[in-house]
A and B are shown apart, each in its own frame.
Chain A
Amino acid sequence: MALDADLVGRTFPATAPYLVTEERVREFAAAAGGSWQGGPVPATFPIVLAFAAMNDFLDDVGVELRRIVHGEQRFAYERPVRPGDVLSATLAVASLRSIGGNDLVGTRSEIRDAAGALVCTATATLVHRGGPDE
Chain B
Amino acid sequence: MSDTAPAVPSPPASPLAVGAELPVQRYPLTRADLVRYAGASGDRNPIHWSERTALAVGLPGVIAHGMLTLALAARAVATWTRDAEVLELGSKFTAPVVVPDDDEGVVVEVRGFVKDVAEGRASLALEVTCGGQKVLGQPKAVVRV
Chain A positions near chain B (C-beta within 8 angstroms)? 24, 27-28, 30-34, 39-40, 42-44, 47-48, 51-52, 55, 65-77, 80, 123, 125, 129, 131-133
Answer yes or no: B132 CB below 8 A from chain A CBs.
no
List residues of chain B with CB within 8 A of the CB of A31. Answer: 33, 36-37, 39-41, 68, 71
Q: Are A73 and B83 in contact (CB under 8 A)?
A: no
State the Cβ distance, B79 to closest chain A Cβ, in Å.
9
- A51–B65 Cα distance when bound, in Å, is 12
List residues of chain B with CB within 8 A of the CB of A52. Answer: 42
Q: Are B75 and A34 in contact (CB under 8 A)?
A: yes
Q: Are A65 and B36 in contact (CB under 8 A)?
A: no
- A77–B45 Cα distance when bound, in Å, is 26
Total CB contacts across the A-B interface at under 8 A: 120
With A31-B33, A74-B90 as contacts: A51 and B43 at CB distance below 8 Å: yes
List residues of chain B with CB within 8 A of the CB of A132. Answer: 56-58
List residues of chain B with CB within 8 A of the CB of A67. Answer: 57
Q: Which residue of chain B has its CB nearest to the CB of A65? A: B45
- A44–B71 Cα distance when bound, in Å, is 6
Q: Which residue of chain B has its CB nearest to the CB of A41? A: B86
List residues of chain B with CB within 8 A of the CB of A133. Answer: 56-57
List residues of chain A with CB within 8 A of the CB of B33. Answer: 31, 33
Q: Are B57 and A131 in contact (CB under 8 A)?
A: yes
Q: Which residue of chain A has its CB nearest to the CB of B47? A: A66
Q: Determine which of B28, B67, B75, B78 lies in contact with A73 in the assembled complex, contact meaning CB atoms within 8 Å.
A: B67
State the Cβ distance, A87 to closest chain B Cβ, in Å.
13
- A103–B137 Cα distance when bound, in Å, is 19
List residues of chain A with CB within 8 A of the CB of B67. Answer: 44, 47, 51, 70, 73
- A77–B44 Cα distance when bound, in Å, is 25
State the Cβ distance, B99 to closest chain A Cβ, in Å.
13
- A125–B44 Cα distance when bound, in Å, is 18
